[in-house]
A and B are shown apart, each in its own frame.
Chain A
Amino acid sequence: MLKQEPGSFRDPFSSVFLAEDRVYRVLSDDGAEDWRAYMASGLKEKLEEEGLVVRSELAPASDTFPANKSNDQLVLCHPRIPFVSYPYEWCFSMLKEAATLHLTLIARLFEKDLILKDASAFNVQFVGARRVFIDAGSVQRYETGMPWAALGQFCSTMLSPLLISAFLKIPFSPFLRGSLGGMDSRLTAKIFGGRYWWHPTVLKYVYLHAFLEQRYSHPSASRALPAALHFTREMLHHMFVVLARSVERLAFRPPQGHWAGYTDTRAYSGDELAAKNKFVSGAFERMPRRKLLWDLGCNTGEFSFLAAPFFDYVVAMDADFESVEMLFSTLRRNGEKRILPLVMDLANPSAGCGWNNRERQSLFARGKPDCLLALALIHHLRVTEGIPLSHIVNFISSLADHVIVEFVAKDDPMFKTLAQNRRATYDDYTETAFRSLFGERCRLVDELRLTKTRWLMFFSRP
């Protein structure tokens, strides 16, 4: 069953169709010319081998592809990405890798008189912690004298969000989620509000950028000017070099995180932790289908690592930007390709957005997990987010066939810490109520009382 990728319609030279196990890209005549130039440069094989660009080959003639049959358009096919993610779900280092990848590709392509026609962070995906550029249709022949048309897109979807995080310690996710086009230069300048004016990157890409955009924003602003400007190759080359160096230097150094230190301060003895690991692994072994696992409230990903050998792919989610940052750097060091870390607030998970609300898919539309891991998560949703227990159980039990949950009772020290200074009594939140609510929907397969106040339960849907 072939369907058009709902997020791919802006580029008239390449459109994308999704099949069960692969992705097809149909190129227009102009797009095909660019593709041939890219092939002739000899770069395609190299970039794919280095894992920078997604593999693409000509679709075999045997593939029944309507667009291919009606006219002689060039059709490419790519492997599918295990789980699609979006820039507003990434931590700082993930977005930085996307930016660095763009600049690396441009440096390599520009040597062969090629360039990227767009520079949207959405053109990068992650397989585990490995970034890959997925828009092979973005490679274009460079026309002498022309500027880089996508610099604005690069700034708004990657550079500006990175700058506000690196300099002002502001997580970029809300901005990128709020506007798929990214951050306008004038918005960025307002957020910076005059600070760091002395920093060359901020001065150039925030203040100067915003000033010029403001100054020449009126539609009548000298339309003759663009045609009168001639860009030499050297100018663009040196701009790219300086930009790459600036991005390389950006770093996110948060104050000691709230949850990041959680693993160390947790109220478990070594024996209890071993028992917890054993229970969880035992539950994994009893599941018949082990393709996708979601680790909700993954913290620094301890149990995602435990799950990775059992599942094809693990998506580890946490609302805390810093925890995900830590997890990503661990994954990057390990070269792990089966765990995808995402910043996700479960009380407000990614929704469908963009054109027709379908351009970017909601979290739930991107794949159904076989198993859900929700360890010490429910009391956070109950207390911090104020969601009634019945709603939480409804939500969790509807997502997957198998659920492993850790229930933290009201007299647990962690619960008390969370609930202090709150006047609510959480009367609905009891172990008995939890069991009966889950029991209405699932079967309790196994359980373990970890401590006096904590239970591990493994539920399966009949």
Chain B
Amino acid sequence: MRRPEIEQRHAMRMTRYARIPSIGWIVLGLLLFALPGAAHAYIDPTVGLLLLQMLLGGVAAVAWLIKSYWAKVRTFFRRKKSDPFSPPER
């Protein structure tokens, strides 16, 4: 049996994740319903391959997202250090 405070903490954690911006489009991408099947194709990927692409594409996109955020964080701190026009710290 779960205690209510754990439930509450769990819910809080969920909302915190949900608030991270730009993860949204990946989640949306994963869940959105697609257009009807392609009209002009002559190679059909197997279900296994569709899932593989979904996983690899998803993972690659998330990795790129994390990287670019990390790069942003780094440039933010670097600029702070080296920017001659920033006010001196007290």
Q: State the A residues within 8 Å of B (CB).
A: 10-13, 30, 34, 117-118, 140, 143-153, 185, 204, 208-209, 212-217, 221-223, 225-232, 234-236, 238-239, 241-242
Contacts and interface: CB of A to CB of B under 8 A. Distances in A.
Contacts of B41: 117, 149
A225 B50 contact: yes
Contacts of A143: 35, 38
B49 A151 contact: yes
A232 B25 contact: yes
Interface in B22-73: 25-26, 28-58, 60-61, 63-64
A228 B33 contact: yes
Contact of A239 (B35, B47, B57): B57
- How many B residues touch the partner, as a band? 35 or more
A12 B42 CA distance: 8
B45 A13 contact: no
B61 A149 contact: no
Could you tell me the dominant secondary structure of chain B's interface residues? Answer: helix
Contact of B60 (A12, A228, A235): A235
A209 B46 CA distance: 11
A456 to B, nearest CB: 52
Contact of A227 (B36, B43, B48): B36
Given A30-B40, A226-B47, A230-B30, A148 B35 contact: no
B43 to A, nearest CB: 5
A223 B44 CA distance: 12
A231 B51 contact: no
A213 B46 contact: yes
A195 B55 CA distance: 22
A151 B48 contact: no
Contact of A231 (B36, B37, B42, B57): B57
Contact of B48 (A11, A148, A213, A229): A213
A183 to B, nearest CB: 14
A212 B48 contact: yes
Contacts of B51: 212, 216, 225, 229
A153 B26 contact: no
A226 B50 contact: yes
A152 B46 contact: yes
A307 B29 CA distance: 58
Given A216-B46, A231-B29, A146 B34 contact: yes
Contacts of B39: 30
A217 B40 CA distance: 24
A145 B35 CA distance: 7
A13 to B, nearest CB: 7
